[in-house]
Amino acid sequence: MTDTVEASRGYSPEARTAALIEALPYINKFRGSVVVVKFGGNAMINPELSKSFAEDIVLLRSVGFKPVVVHGGAPQIGAMLGKLGKESEFRDGLRVTDTETLDVARMVLVGKVGREIVGQINTHGAYAVGMSGEDGQLIVAKQRNPELGYVGDIEEVQPGVLERLLAEELIPVVSSIGSDRNGQAYNINADTVAGAIAGALNAEKVMYLTDVPGLMTNVDDPSSLVAKATVAELSGLIADGTVTGGMVPKVGACIEAVLAGASAAHMLDGRVPHVLLLELFTQAGIGTMITLNQSETEDS
Protein backbone atom coordinates (compact mmCIF):
# COMPACT_ATOMS: atom_id res chain seq x y z
CA MET A 1 0.00 0.00 0.00
CA THR A 2 2.84 2.40 0.93
CA ASP A 3 4.60 1.58 -2.34
CA THR A 4 1.48 2.56 -4.27
CA VAL A 5 1.26 5.90 -2.49
CA GLU A 6 4.95 6.61 -2.96
CA ALA A 7 4.72 5.71 -6.65
CA SER A 8 1.83 8.12 -7.14
CA ARG A 9 3.90 10.89 -5.60
CA GLY A 10 6.55 10.22 -8.24
CA TYR A 11 4.21 10.82 -11.19
CA SER A 12 5.37 13.56 -13.52
CA PRO A 13 3.30 16.76 -13.84
CA GLU A 14 2.40 15.60 -17.36
CA ALA A 15 1.05 12.27 -16.08
CA ARG A 16 -0.99 13.97 -13.37
CA THR A 17 -2.40 16.44 -15.87
CA ALA A 18 -3.29 13.62 -18.26
CA ALA A 19 -5.18 11.86 -15.48
CA LEU A 20 -7.21 14.99 -14.75
CA ILE A 21 -7.98 15.53 -18.42
CA GLU A 22 -9.07 11.89 -18.79
CA ALA A 23 -11.44 12.28 -15.84
CA LEU A 24 -13.07 15.51 -17.05
CA PRO A 25 -15.51 14.05 -19.63
CA TYR A 26 -16.80 11.54 -17.07
CA ILE A 27 -17.24 14.23 -14.43
CA ASN A 28 -19.24 16.30 -16.90
CA LYS A 29 -21.28 13.31 -18.08
CA PHE A 30 -22.30 12.05 -14.65
CA ARG A 31 -22.47 15.28 -12.63
CA GLY A 32 -25.72 15.30 -10.66
CA SER A 33 -26.10 11.52 -10.91
CA VAL A 34 -26.82 9.20 -7.99
CA VAL A 35 -24.12 6.59 -7.36
CA VAL A 36 -24.87 3.86 -4.80
CA VAL A 37 -21.82 2.09 -3.36
CA LYS A 38 -21.95 -1.20 -1.45
CA PHE A 39 -19.02 -1.04 0.97
CA GLY A 40 -17.68 -4.35 2.26
CA GLY A 41 -14.92 -6.94 2.23
CA ASN A 42 -11.30 -6.00 2.81
CA ALA A 43 -12.06 -2.40 1.94
CA MET A 44 -14.07 -2.21 5.15
CA ILE A 45 -11.61 -3.86 7.53
CA ASN A 46 -8.30 -2.56 6.15
CA PRO A 47 -7.66 0.93 7.61
CA GLU A 48 -5.78 2.22 4.56
CA LEU A 49 -8.42 0.96 2.13
CA SER A 50 -11.16 2.37 4.33
CA LYS A 51 -9.42 5.73 4.29
CA SER A 52 -9.05 5.75 0.49
CA PHE A 53 -12.71 4.75 0.16
CA ALA A 54 -13.80 7.73 2.26
CA GLU A 55 -11.61 10.02 0.14
CA ASP A 56 -13.21 8.69 -3.03
CA ILE A 57 -16.73 9.24 -1.70
CA VAL A 58 -15.94 12.83 -0.69
CA LEU A 59 -14.32 13.50 -4.06
CA LEU A 60 -17.41 12.20 -5.86
CA ARG A 61 -19.57 14.57 -3.84
CA SER A 62 -17.19 17.45 -4.47
CA VAL A 63 -17.39 17.09 -8.27
CA GLY A 64 -21.19 16.96 -8.28
CA PHE A 65 -22.08 13.30 -7.87
CA LYS A 66 -24.69 12.18 -5.31
CA PRO A 67 -23.13 9.20 -3.50
CA VAL A 68 -25.09 6.85 -1.24
CA VAL A 69 -23.15 4.28 0.83
CA VAL A 70 -24.75 0.97 1.84
CA HIS A 71 -22.96 -1.44 4.17
CA GLY A 72 -23.35 -4.69 5.98
CA GLY A 73 -21.00 -6.15 8.58
CA ALA A 74 -21.29 -9.92 8.86
CA PRO A 75 -17.73 -10.45 10.21
CA GLN A 76 -18.22 -7.73 12.83
CA ILE A 77 -21.56 -9.23 13.89
CA GLY A 78 -19.97 -12.67 14.18
CA ALA A 79 -17.10 -11.28 16.24
CA MET A 80 -19.47 -9.53 18.66
CA LEU A 81 -21.61 -12.64 19.06
CA GLY A 82 -18.43 -14.59 19.83
CA LYS A 83 -17.45 -12.11 22.53
CA LEU A 84 -20.91 -12.58 24.04
CA GLY A 85 -20.47 -16.35 24.02
CA LYS A 86 -23.20 -16.88 21.43
CA GLU A 87 -22.51 -19.32 18.63
CA SER A 88 -23.71 -18.42 15.14
CA GLU A 89 -25.87 -20.90 13.24
CA PHE A 90 -26.04 -20.77 9.45
CA ARG A 91 -28.52 -22.31 7.03
CA ASP A 92 -27.92 -22.04 3.30
CA GLY A 93 -25.29 -19.41 4.01
CA LEU A 94 -27.63 -17.22 6.07
CA ARG A 95 -27.20 -16.49 9.77
CA VAL A 96 -30.15 -17.71 11.82
CA THR A 97 -31.25 -14.53 13.57
CA ASP A 98 -33.11 -14.84 16.87
CA THR A 99 -34.07 -11.83 19.01
CA GLU A 100 -30.66 -11.60 20.69
CA THR A 101 -28.78 -11.93 17.40
CA LEU A 102 -30.98 -9.24 15.85
CA ASP A 103 -30.22 -6.90 18.73
CA VAL A 104 -26.50 -7.49 18.23
CA ALA A 105 -26.80 -6.96 14.47
CA ARG A 106 -28.58 -3.64 14.94
CA MET A 107 -26.05 -2.53 17.54
CA VAL A 108 -23.05 -3.47 15.40
CA LEU A 109 -24.33 -2.25 12.03
CA VAL A 110 -25.92 1.02 13.14
CA GLY A 111 -23.91 1.83 16.27
CA LYS A 112 -20.44 0.68 15.29
CA VAL A 113 -19.81 -0.03 11.60
CA GLY A 114 -22.05 2.76 10.34
CA ARG A 115 -20.58 5.29 12.76
CA GLU A 116 -17.04 4.36 11.73
CA ILE A 117 -17.83 4.95 8.04
CA VAL A 118 -19.53 8.26 8.84
CA GLY A 119 -16.55 9.29 10.92
CA GLN A 120 -14.07 8.47 8.14
CA ILE A 121 -16.04 10.51 5.61
CA ASN A 122 -16.58 13.40 8.00
CA THR A 123 -12.88 13.90 8.61
CA HIS A 124 -13.12 15.81 5.30
CA GLY A 125 -16.20 17.84 6.30
CA ALA A 126 -19.68 17.39 7.76
CA TYR A 127 -21.03 15.48 4.78
CA ALA A 128 -22.16 12.01 5.92
CA VAL A 129 -25.32 11.07 7.80
CA GLY A 130 -25.69 7.58 9.29
CA MET A 131 -29.03 5.78 9.19
CA SER A 132 -30.60 2.36 8.82
CA GLY A 133 -33.32 1.06 6.57
CA GLU A 134 -35.69 1.44 9.51
CA ASP A 135 -35.41 5.23 9.40
CA GLY A 136 -38.30 6.90 7.59
CA GLN A 137 -39.45 3.39 6.63
CA LEU A 138 -36.78 3.47 3.96
CA ILE A 139 -36.78 -0.33 3.63
CA VAL A 140 -40.07 -2.12 4.19
CA ALA A 141 -39.21 -5.76 4.85
CA LYS A 142 -40.90 -9.09 5.37
CA GLN A 143 -39.71 -12.29 6.97
CA ARG A 144 -37.94 -14.62 4.57
CA ASN A 145 -38.43 -17.90 6.40
CA PRO A 146 -39.59 -18.53 9.99
CA GLU A 147 -36.77 -21.06 10.40
CA LEU A 148 -34.24 -18.25 9.82
CA GLY A 149 -35.82 -15.96 12.40
CA TYR A 150 -35.48 -12.24 11.73
CA VAL A 151 -33.85 -12.49 8.31
CA GLY A 152 -35.73 -10.28 5.90
CA ASP A 153 -36.49 -9.77 2.24
CA ILE A 154 -37.26 -6.35 0.80
CA GLU A 155 -40.90 -5.67 0.09
CA GLU A 156 -40.57 -2.01 -0.84
CA VAL A 157 -38.07 0.86 -0.82
CA GLN A 158 -39.45 4.30 0.07
CA PRO A 159 -36.59 6.61 -0.90
CA GLY A 160 -38.03 9.94 0.25
CA VAL A 161 -35.65 10.31 3.19
CA LEU A 162 -32.64 9.63 0.93
CA GLU A 163 -33.88 12.10 -1.69
CA ARG A 164 -34.15 14.81 0.95
CA LEU A 165 -30.64 14.16 2.23
CA LEU A 166 -29.20 14.14 -1.29
CA ALA A 167 -31.00 17.41 -2.06
CA GLU A 168 -29.08 18.90 0.88
CA GLU A 169 -25.81 17.57 -0.63
CA LEU A 170 -25.36 15.13 2.25
CA ILE A 171 -24.04 11.58 1.95
CA PRO A 172 -26.39 8.92 3.37
CA VAL A 173 -24.65 5.92 4.95
CA VAL A 174 -27.25 3.16 5.20
CA SER A 175 -27.07 0.04 7.42
CA SER A 176 -28.78 -3.04 6.00
CA ILE A 177 -31.57 -3.30 8.57
CA GLY A 178 -35.21 -2.93 7.52
CA SER A 179 -38.55 -3.23 9.25
CA ASP A 180 -42.06 -4.37 8.45
CA ARG A 181 -45.09 -2.10 8.66
CA ASN A 182 -45.57 -3.05 12.32
CA GLY A 183 -42.05 -1.96 13.24
CA GLN A 184 -40.44 -5.40 13.51
CA ALA A 185 -36.81 -5.15 12.44
CA TYR A 186 -35.08 -7.60 10.07
CA ASN A 187 -31.47 -8.15 9.06
CA ILE A 188 -31.19 -8.00 5.25
CA ASN A 189 -28.39 -8.88 2.83
CA ALA A 190 -26.48 -5.66 2.13
CA ASP A 191 -25.90 -6.48 -1.57
CA THR A 192 -29.66 -6.76 -1.98
CA VAL A 193 -30.25 -3.50 -0.10
CA ALA A 194 -27.76 -1.63 -2.32
CA GLY A 195 -29.42 -2.91 -5.48
CA ALA A 196 -32.92 -2.11 -4.29
CA ILE A 197 -31.96 1.42 -3.22
CA ALA A 198 -30.18 2.01 -6.53
CA GLY A 199 -33.28 0.95 -8.40
CA ALA A 200 -35.59 3.11 -6.29
CA LEU A 201 -33.38 6.16 -6.84
CA ASN A 202 -32.90 5.42 -10.57
CA ALA A 203 -29.17 5.57 -9.85
CA GLU A 204 -26.71 6.03 -12.68
CA LYS A 205 -24.42 3.47 -11.04
CA VAL A 206 -24.49 0.90 -8.27
CA MET A 207 -20.99 -0.25 -7.36
CA TYR A 208 -20.18 -3.36 -5.32
CA LEU A 209 -16.79 -3.52 -3.62
CA THR A 210 -15.76 -7.18 -3.39
CA ASP A 211 -12.64 -9.20 -2.65
CA VAL A 212 -12.24 -10.36 -6.27
CA PRO A 213 -11.26 -8.42 -9.43
CA GLY A 214 -14.81 -8.73 -10.77
CA LEU A 215 -16.78 -11.49 -12.44
CA MET A 216 -14.47 -14.23 -13.73
CA THR A 217 -15.68 -17.20 -15.74
CA ASN A 218 -12.81 -19.17 -14.18
CA VAL A 219 -12.01 -18.13 -10.60
CA ASP A 220 -8.46 -19.46 -10.96
CA ASP A 221 -7.74 -17.48 -14.14
CA PRO A 222 -7.53 -13.68 -13.82
CA SER A 223 -7.58 -13.37 -17.62
CA SER A 224 -11.15 -14.71 -17.61
CA LEU A 225 -12.42 -11.44 -16.15
CA VAL A 226 -15.63 -10.28 -17.84
CA ALA A 227 -15.23 -6.53 -18.37
CA LYS A 228 -18.74 -5.84 -19.68
CA ALA A 229 -21.93 -7.91 -19.80
CA THR A 230 -25.66 -7.53 -20.23
CA VAL A 231 -28.31 -8.85 -17.86
CA ALA A 232 -29.22 -11.55 -20.39
CA GLU A 233 -25.61 -12.67 -20.71
CA LEU A 234 -25.17 -12.88 -16.94
CA SER A 235 -28.43 -14.78 -16.54
CA GLY A 236 -27.11 -17.27 -19.09
CA LEU A 237 -23.85 -17.69 -17.16
CA ILE A 238 -25.82 -18.50 -14.01
CA ALA A 239 -28.13 -20.90 -15.86
CA ASP A 240 -25.29 -22.86 -17.46
CA GLY A 241 -23.33 -23.14 -14.20
CA THR A 242 -20.44 -20.85 -15.17
CA VAL A 243 -21.25 -18.57 -12.25
CA THR A 244 -21.56 -20.58 -9.03
CA GLY A 245 -21.20 -20.40 -5.26
CA GLY A 246 -20.88 -17.09 -3.49
CA MET A 247 -20.73 -15.19 -6.78
CA VAL A 248 -24.36 -16.05 -7.63
CA PRO A 249 -25.98 -13.71 -5.06
CA LYS A 250 -23.61 -10.86 -6.00
CA VAL A 251 -24.37 -11.26 -9.70
CA GLY A 252 -28.05 -11.61 -8.83
CA ALA A 253 -27.97 -8.32 -6.91
CA CYS A 254 -26.41 -6.58 -9.94
CA ILE A 255 -29.09 -7.99 -12.22
CA GLU A 256 -31.92 -6.97 -9.89
CA ALA A 257 -30.48 -3.45 -9.52
CA VAL A 258 -30.41 -2.91 -13.28
CA LEU A 259 -33.87 -4.41 -13.77
CA ALA A 260 -35.18 -2.16 -10.98
CA GLY A 261 -33.97 1.03 -12.63
CA ALA A 262 -30.20 1.53 -12.13
CA SER A 263 -28.45 2.36 -15.40
CA ALA A 264 -25.44 0.14 -14.65
CA ALA A 265 -24.04 -2.12 -11.95
CA HIS A 266 -20.33 -2.62 -11.32
CA MET A 267 -18.43 -5.34 -9.48
CA LEU A 268 -15.08 -3.94 -8.34
CA ASP A 269 -12.05 -5.16 -6.43
CA GLY A 270 -12.24 -3.27 -3.14
CA ARG A 271 -8.64 -4.28 -2.39
CA VAL A 272 -7.43 -1.76 -4.99
CA PRO A 273 -6.92 1.75 -3.56
CA HIS A 274 -9.25 4.35 -5.12
CA VAL A 275 -10.99 1.70 -7.21
CA LEU A 276 -14.14 3.85 -7.47
CA LEU A 277 -12.20 6.61 -9.21
CA LEU A 278 -10.47 4.17 -11.53
CA GLU A 279 -13.81 2.75 -12.65
CA LEU A 280 -15.68 6.04 -12.97
CA PHE A 281 -13.02 8.35 -14.36
CA THR A 282 -10.86 6.27 -16.72
CA GLN A 283 -11.52 4.92 -20.20
CA ALA A 284 -10.22 1.43 -19.41
CA GLY A 285 -12.13 1.12 -16.15
CA ILE A 286 -11.63 -1.79 -13.80
CA GLY A 287 -13.81 -4.72 -12.77
CA THR A 288 -17.09 -5.80 -14.40
CA MET A 289 -19.90 -3.53 -15.65
CA ILE A 290 -23.45 -4.85 -16.11
CA THR A 291 -26.17 -3.07 -18.12
CA LEU A 292 -29.58 -3.97 -19.47
CA ASN A 293 -28.55 -4.18 -23.10
CA GLN A 294 -25.44 -4.03 -25.26
CA SER A 295 -25.84 -0.42 -26.44
CA GLU A 296 -25.86 0.81 -22.83
CA THR A 297 -22.73 -1.25 -22.12
CA GLU A 298 -20.97 0.47 -25.01
CA ASP A 299 -22.11 3.98 -24.00
CA SER A 300 -21.37 3.85 -20.24
By percentage, how much of the chain surpasses pLDDT 70?
Answer: 93
Q: Tell whether the model's pLDDT for residue 157 goes beyond 90.
A: yes
Cα→Cα distances 94→27, 147, 182, 195, Å: 39, 11, 24, 18
Predicted TM-score (pTM) above 0.85: yes
Smallest CA-to-CA distance from 206 within 287, 131, 125, 114 is with: 287
Nearest-5° angle of CA 100, CA 102, CA 107? 100
Q: Residue 190 in contact with residue 154, Cβ under 8 Å?
A: no
Q: Which residues, other chains included, contact 87 with Cβ-Cβ below 8 Å and sequence gap of 6+?
A: 81
Q: Tell whether the model's pLDDT for residue 265 goes beyond 90.
A: yes
CA gyration radius, the chain: 19
Check residue 149 and give left, alpha or beta (phi > 0: left; psi -120 to 50: alpha). Answer: left
Residue 1 confidence (pLDDT): 40
Look up the CATH superfamily of 35-299.
Acetylglutamate kinase-like (3.40.1160.10)
Among 3-12, 76-85, 136-145, 287-296, which is the least confidently predicted range?
3-12
Residue 153 confidence (pLDDT): 96
Instruction: Return the higher-pLDDT residue of 144 and 219.
Output: 144
Angle, helix 114-122 to helix 47-62, in steps of 10 degrees:
60
